A and B are shown apart, each in its own frame.
Chain A
Amino acid sequence: SQQGEEDPQALSIQEGENATMNCSYKTSINNLQWYRQNSGRGLVHLILIRSNEREKHSGRLRVTLDTSKKSSSLLITASRAADTASYFCATVPQGAGGTSYGKLTFGQGTILTVHP
């Protein structure tokens, strides 16, 4: 089942602006990952944040995690037209005995459009 819910479903901004996407989930997690998907293509891993971390940075990406609220956010700063894509959060659950085989549960995604 899809436990992740993302908002907004679609986001349209101008180049240079920041884009913020939010993700909520329902069960306890081992880690949360963000992926990017260009139209009609496979997904590309962007960043991972573990359940004991609160914030992580990678280049123009900033991810936060609030396990008490079961939510995460992805911030893309100084957006570019090339950032236009769908963005998905995905969680790895805390499985029985700590073994979940890396199975990911994806959110529904946010479609980001960055206008030049």
Chain B
Amino acid sequence: SQTIHQWPATLVQPVGSPLSLECTVEGTSNPNLYWYRQAAGRGLQLLFYSVGIGQISSEVPQNLSASRPQDRQFILSSKKLLLSDSGFYLCATAGAGYNEQFFGPGTRLTVL
């Protein structure tokens, strides 16, 4: 089965600082990869998805960017964090036939 690793688990950053969150996947090859953000007490919002190396699609305009330098590595970045970037960031990969998604443990980001 697929395993998703995310780090760091928690992060506190000042406004205006850069961001890099990493996600790596085991147990599958050429997966579709997704970045979601979850605000407190809310559902998940899809930020980016990738169907292959170097292929990134953005779902919403924002202060963030994503990259996929390797088949099983997905990175979420920002050059300058905003207060509104605070939230719980989840990386996910799709199972066969898109019948389910497997989620990583998440990174809780607090921007002060």
Interface residues of A (CB under 8 A from B): 2, 4, 30-31, 33, 40-45, 48, 88, 90, 92, 100-109, 111
Can you list 15 A-B contacts (CB < 8 A)? Answer: A33-B99, A40-B88, A41-B106, A42-B104, A42-B105, A43-B44, A43-B103, A44-B103, A88-B44, A101-B49, A101-B51, A102-B32, A105-B46, A106-B45, A107-B43
* Closest 9 A/B residue pairs (Cβ): A102-B98, A42-B103, A45-B100, A106-B43, A102-B94, A106-B44, A108-B43, A43-B103, A42-B105
CA of A25 to CA of B100, assembled, Å: 18
Q: A2-B43, A42-B90 are in contact. Are A104 and B101 (CB under 8 A)?
A: yes
Residues of chain A within 8 A of B59, CB atoms compared: 103
- A44–B34 alpha-carbon span in the complex (Å): 15
Chain B, 41-74, contact with A by CB distance < 8 Å: what is the 0/1 string?
A: 1111110010100000101000000000000000
